[in-house]
């Protein structure tokens, strides 16, 4: 009480399950997600839950699953649009 108010804006995204083999490779909302992320400015983004479905990559093991995710969605992990 008596302290200055916190004017930060928080956005929370959750359970995106991005990544995987076969039909899971297609992310129907990728363009919308990228547009949303590019519009974030002076905010706090909280990624809660399963953002990536690394367990859905069955052709690779271990840390190579993350490399496969980055290779599949370079626009998500690269510099801003």
Residue with tokens 């809660």: 48
* Residue 49: predicted pLDDT: 86
Q: Give pLDDT tens digits for 34-57.
A: 999 888 887 889 989 888 888 888
Q: Indicate the domain borders of the chain.
A: 9-77
Q: What is the DSSP string of the chain?
A: --SPP---EEEEEE---B--SGGGG--TTHHHHHHHHHH--SEEEEEES-SB-GGG--SS-TTHHHHHHHHH-HHHHSS--
Q: Which residue has the higher pLDDT, 79 or 54?
A: 54
More confidently predicted of 66 and 42: 66
Q: Looking at the predicted structure, is the pLDDT value of residue 7 above 90?
A: no
């Amino acid at each position: 009480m008596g302290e200055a108010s916190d004017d930060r804006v928080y956005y929370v995204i959750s359970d995106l399950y991005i990544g995987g083999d076969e039909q899971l490779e297609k992310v129907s909302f990728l363009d919308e997600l990228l547009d949303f992320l590019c519009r974030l400015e002076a905010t706090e983004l909280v990624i809660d839950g399963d953002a990536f479905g690394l367990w859905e990559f069955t052709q690779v093991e271990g840390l190579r699953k993350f490399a496969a995710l980055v290779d599949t969605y370079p626009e998500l992990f690269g510099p801003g649009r």
